[in-house]
Amino acid sequence: MRQIDKLLNQYGESHQNHTNILIHGIAVPSIFFVTIGLIYAIPVPEAIAQYEVTFAHILAIPMLMYYFKLSGPIGAAMTLLTLGVFGGIQLLEYLHISVWRFSLVLFVMMWVLQFVGHQIEGKKPSFFEDLRFLLVGPAWWWNHFFKRFNIKP
């Protein structure tokens, strides 16, 4: 069995309840967005900032490499999501909305929502056993879309 299939199956074991799945369908991509937003908001040294590069841009590279290592379709989908996130961050800045404040508030709200989902599910979050599942969550989210179009992750 491929590593991606094993990880998605393990993650899915604690995400069986329909309500929990719906909650995660909202919370997982939101948490991905705001986590990148929080990292984006960390000030960078001027030597890096002059190139309009943030820590979020730098960390996106190994993160996407990990996803591509797991699966080409997952890597491509996560690349699209990451580009969308950076576009969303630019929109926040254009609207003069504080990226870090917006991200922090939504981060807390979405994690509370996810823990409510796991309370309903009656199972603890997967990342309590293995921190990799913090990265597997968005792949699991994409996998739901892939199934609808018969795409193998």
Q: Is there a domain that residue 58 lies in? A: yes
Q: Is there a domain that residue 119 lies in? A: yes
Query: 72 pLDDT band (50/70/90 cuts)?
Result: very high
More confident residue, 10 or 95: 95
Q: Is there a domain that residue 140 lies in? A: yes
Q: Is there a domain that residue 56 lies in? A: yes
124 in Cβ contact with 118 (< 8 Å) = yes
Residue 124 has pLDDT above 90, yes or no: no
Q: Is there a domain that residue 122 lies in? A: yes
Average pLDDT over residues 109-118: 95
Residue 144 has pLDDT above 90, yes or no: no
Residue 153 has pLDDT above 90, yes or no: no
Determine the Cα–Cα distance for residues 69 and 64; give it in Å rounded to an integer. Answer: 8
Give one word for 150, left, alpha or beta, with left for phi > 0 and alpha for psi -120 to 50.
Answer: left
Compute how many other C-beta atoms are within 10 angstroms of the C-beta atom of residue 149: 6
Q: Is there a domain that residue 98 lies in? A: yes
Please provide the average confidence, as pLDDT, over all residues in the chain: 93
Domain count, the chain: 1
Q: Is there a domain that residue 153 lies in? A: no
Per the structure, the complete domain to which residue 69 belongs is given by 3-148
pLDDT of residue 148: 84
pLDDT of residue 136: 92
Angstrom CA distances, 42 to 17, 96, 103, stand at: 37, 17, 12
Q: What's the CA dihedral at 63, 66, 68, 71 to 10 degrees? A: -130
